Structure 1
Amino acid sequence: MSAKILALDTATENCSVALMVGDKLYVRSEVAPRDHTKKVLPMVDEVLKEAGVTLADLDALAFGRGPGSFTGVRIGIGIAQGLAFGADLPMIGVSTLAAMAQGSYRQHGASHVACAIDARMSEVYWGRFSRQEDGSWSEVDAECVISPQVLAEQLSRDELAWKAAGTGWDAYSEALAELTIECEKGDVLFPDAQDIVYLAQFELAKGNTVDAEHASPVYLRDNVAWKKLPGRE
């Protein structure tokens, strides 16, 4: 894979940008929960200058499509769409949960990852992923928003050793400790654009891109998100 892909993510407290040019990776990342709009575009400029390329040189623009903070997801997709429109680039939405799975593999070699992001309202955004031989990831559990208590009741025991990722494990430690699966504590708390850009390669190779006007977020709690917008009550 030798594509040129820019990725950005603001779906959680972490603000990150990554640019892949062939086998080289240029990254910026900072935990800045209230400063995404100030941080992300300067990060984009920095990685493009460091790599010596322009937006017009790229093959695609990837973004963290959620789940995550409603505001953060909207900021990320809005900025990504603006960049993609201006440079006429196809877009690739990547799951923030899958990105954390890839981050757990990158940092710890984990091949089976259980991801839980604190979704507030006593719920988590949940998903489990297993790494395939080609380096891609398959969903074991479909992404969902669920209370830890209900998750503990519904989850079936298996023989795999899962690596935990995401903020939900600390936020609901007592309830998630009741899960029947074997889970090892992990330190990947947030998705990162360098993992999003890695996953985006597979989607680009399969032709899974959309035009900028059709790029869409994944909230998993759509009704609540849309009710917060003016005119959507």
Structure 2
Amino acid sequence: MALILQIETSTISCSVSLAENGATIACKEASERNIHASSITLFIEEVMKSAGKDMSDLNAVAVSKGPGSYTGLRIGVSTAKGLCYALDIPLIAVDTLKVMASNRQVNSGNTESLLCPMIDARRMEVYTAVYDSALNEINPVSAKIIDEDSFADLLATKKIVFFGDGAEKCVETLGANANATFITTFENSASDMSAEAFDRFNEQVFEDIAYFEPYYLKDFVATTPKAV
């Protein structure tokens, strides 16, 4: 048996779920900017209580490793590592974009279109990758600035579904292409991590708690607030 606490904080969504043997049994989440630090501990407590489980029952903690929001990832990974240290249980890291693609594939059943999850970065930039229906990586994970030529080689012959909180900024630029479909209501959820986290637990693919860092993809850029 594997009882895994799962944490997803790579976007504005703050999401915590509990999975037993690869099936989600409880979930608490909210999509609102800058709530991760204040909400994640409370969400963990609510999820454990609603499932009737104690923290001592956990066999592992899984965390969405990125790419994504620098602050969100830092909070999620720090929380996961702290729990693993305190409970002496392993840490599992799952690829954020691949989990998004897996969720979309399971829910749509579409085997013809390529899948392009997108996480909003700065301005016209997104963190993205392209997968086929079997979740093979067609384009590697990258930080991409979207313009009229983006994905032109693939869109010339393939249908692509763009989704995630970065997809909306692509509608105006790529929307004229008949092979492009956009889903702007997709939200990242810790409940989507269950199958991947369970597989990694069974395969004993664990992270070094002392040295593991999120996959930020880009260096953090601090900005100075404009004077009023």
Same fold (TM over 0.5): yes
Q: TM-score range by the shorter chain?
A: 0.7 to 0.9
Residues 35-50 of structure 1 aligned to structure 2 (within 5 Å): 35-50=35-50
After the TM superposition, list the runs of 4 or more consecutive aligned residues in structure 1 that deviate by more than 4 angstroms: 157-160
- Which residue of the partner structure matches residue 121 of structure 2? 119
What whole-Å deviation, never above 9, does each CA across 1:174-224 have from its counterpart, x for those lacking one? 333377x93322245332101123221222222211132132201111xx3
What whole-Å deviation, never above 9, does each CA across 1:144-176 have from its counterpart, x for those lacking one? 001112861664347554332112221232333
Say if 1:169 and 1:176, in contact at 8 Å, map to a contact too.
no
Provide closer, same or farther for how the CA distance between residues 59 and 130 of structure 1 changes in structure 2, counting only shifts above 3 A. farther
> Which among 193, 197, 211 is matched to residue 196 of structure 1?
193
Superposition TM-score, scaled by structure 1 size: 0.82
Is 1:156 matched up with 2:154?
yes
Structure 1 range deviating more: 79-88 or 182-191: 182-191
- Which residue of the partner structure matches residue 231 of structure 1? none
Residues 138-153 of structure 1 aligned to structure 2 (within 5 Å): 138-149=136-147, 152=150
Provide closer, same or farther for how the CA distance between residues 21 and 144 of structure 1 changes in structure 2, counting only shifts above 3 A. same
Provide closer, same or farther for how the CA distance between residues 161 and 113 of structure 1 changes in structure 2, counting only shifts above 3 A. same
Superposition TM-score, scaled by structure 2 size: 0.84
- Which residue of the partner structure matches residue 96 of structure 1? 96
Letter in 2 for 1:196: M
- Which residue of the partner structure matches residue 58 of structure 1? 58
The separation in 2 between residues aligned to 1:71 and 1:52, in whole angstroms, is 31
Is 1:207 matched up with 2:204?
yes
Structure 1 range deviating more: 51-60 or 76-85: 51-60
Which residues of structure 1 form unaligned runs of 5+? 229-233
The separation in 2 between residues aligned to 1:172 and 1:34, in whole angstroms, is 24
- Which residue of the partner structure matches residue 216 of structure 2? 219
Letter in 1 for 2:39: K
> Which among 162, 175, 182 is matched to residue 179 of structure 2?
182
What percentage of aligned pairs have identical amino acids? Answer: 27
The separation in 2 between residues aligned to 1:115 and 1:79, in whole angstroms, is 25
Aligned residues: 220
CA RMSD of aligned residues (A): 2.5
Per the TM alignment, residue 118 of structure 1 is displaced from its structure 2 partner at its CA by 1.6
Letter in 2 for 1:56: S
What whole-Å deviation, never above 9, does each CA across 1:118-160 have from its counterpart, x for those lacking one? 211421111122344xxxx332221100111286166434755
Structure 1 range deviating more: 89-98 or 188-197: 188-197
